[in-house]
């Protein structure tokens, strides 16, 4: 199975900050990567698919990039509602595998 | 509107089985598959498997494939997850999620998820 290494596991940031999360795959996965946001007690929410495509209805401050093994997720200007845990997911092949998650906390 | 409504919380003893349902509405059930994802308390997300509602094809996580079975009932537009030989580390919230599309290789979770079902395994 493809291993997804996500970093950092947590970070503290202020409203308005630019936040960057990375995900590295153990082998090349083309651009077959998605990013999800999860708030406590809620189901995950799809933000980005195909590495850089914004899901309908998701604010443009969220973006993704990368291909092959290295991927970046960015929040350009952190908003209060963005404090949550973020996960990457490789959907290149089965079994699908998630990264370990990044908890974004208020500084 | 698309909705996935899951069955309620369950408490099971080790060694027992559990069957979680996911009732779909608001779309053509057989046009999409269903993924199942679980989350142990305080832990990350774990993909468990996927089933096509069109033809019943499945893919399972390797560590679960001996204990898990995914099925669908097209007459009631409901997907089911059955997990056998439950252990304490199966305690988790279980989510169903409609796939967003199928690439040439996979059908990953998309924008529609159930509310989650807590399964507690305890003696």
Enumerate the β-bridge partners of residue B118.
Answer: B93
pLDDT, tens digit (0-9, with 9 covering 90-100), for B23-50: 999 999 999 999 999 999 999 999 999 9
Is the pLDDT confidence value at A95 over 90? yes
Asked if the Cβ–Cβ distance from A95 to B62 is below 8 Å, we say yes
Q: What b-and-e string marks burial along B83-118, b requiring 16 or more CB atoms within 10 Å of the CB? A: beebeeebbbbbbbbbbbeeeeebbbbbbbbbebbb
Task: Return the closest-CA partner of residue A61 out of A45, A77, A73.
Answer: A77
Asked if the Cβ–Cβ distance from B111 to A94 is below 8 Å, we say no
Nearest CA to CA, how far is B99 from chain A (Å)? 11
Contact B99, B32 (CB under 8 A): yes
Specify the pLDDT at position B57: 96
Asked if the Cβ–Cβ distance from B95 to A56 is below 8 Å, we say no
Asked if the Cβ–Cβ distance from B111 to A98 is below 8 Å, we say no
3-state helix, strand, coil in chain A (%, to 5): 5, 50, 50
Is the pLDDT confidence value at A24 over 90? yes
Interface test with A, best of B45, B112, B114 (most A CBs within 10 A): B45
Contact A74, A19 (CB under 8 A): yes
Residue numbers in chain B where pLDDT is lower than 70: none
C-alpha separations of B17 from B46, B84, B96, B119, B120 in Å? 19, 4, 18, 11, 11
Q: Which residues contact A95 (CB under 8 A, 6 or more apart)?
A: A1, B47, B59, B60, B61, B62
Specify the pLDDT at position B103: 84
Using CA coordinates, name the residue in chain A closest to B111.
A46
Name residue, tokens 């169903």.
B96
Q: What SS3 state is found at A82? A: helix
pLDDT, tens digit (0-9, with 9 covering 90-100), for A49-82: 999 999 999 999 999 999 999 999 999 999 999 9
Specify the pLDDT at position B104: 83
Specify the pLDDT at position A106: 87
Going by the DSSP 8-state scheme, the letter that residue B30 receives in this structure is G
Task: Return the closest-CA partner of residue B109 out of A75, A57, A61, A35.
Answer: A35
- Contacts with B35 from chain A: Cβ below 8 Å: 96
Average pLDDT, chain A: 97
Question: A36 is written with which tokens?
Answer: 């999800």
Enumerate the β-bridge partners of residue A25.
Answer: A4
Q: Which residues contact B51 (CB under 8 A, 6 or more apart)?
A: B33, B34, B57, B58, B70, B71, B72, B79
């Amino acid at each position: 199975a493809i291993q997804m290494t996500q970093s950092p596991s947590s970070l503290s940031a202020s409203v308005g900050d630019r936040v960057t999360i990375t995900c590295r795959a153990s082998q090349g996965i083309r651009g077959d990567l998605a990013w999800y946001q999860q708030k406590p007690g809620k189901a995950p929410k799809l933000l980005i698919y195909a590495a850089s495509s914004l899901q309908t209805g998701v604010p443009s401050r969220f973006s993704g990039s990368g291909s092959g093994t290295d991927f970046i997720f960015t929040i350009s200007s952190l908003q209060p509602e963005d404090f949550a845990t973020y996960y990457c997911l490789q959907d290149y092949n089965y079994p699908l595998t998630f990264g370990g998650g990044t908890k974004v906390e208020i500084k | 509107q698309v909705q996935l409504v899951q069955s309620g919380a369950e408490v099971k003893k080790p060694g027992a089985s559990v069957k979680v349902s996911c009732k779909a509405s608001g779309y053509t059930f057989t046009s999409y598959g269903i993924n199942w994802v679980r989350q142990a308390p305080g832990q990350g997300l774990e993909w468990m498997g996927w089933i096509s509602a069109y033809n019943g094809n499945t893919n399972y996580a390797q560590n679960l494939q001996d204990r898990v079975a995914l099925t669908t009932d097209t007459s009631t537009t409901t997907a089911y997850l059955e997990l056998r030989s439950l252990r304490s580390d199966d305690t988790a919230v279980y989510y169903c999620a409609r796939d967003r599309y199928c690439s040439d290789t996979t059908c990953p979770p998309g924008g529609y998820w159930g509310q989650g079902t807590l399964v507690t395994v305890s003696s």
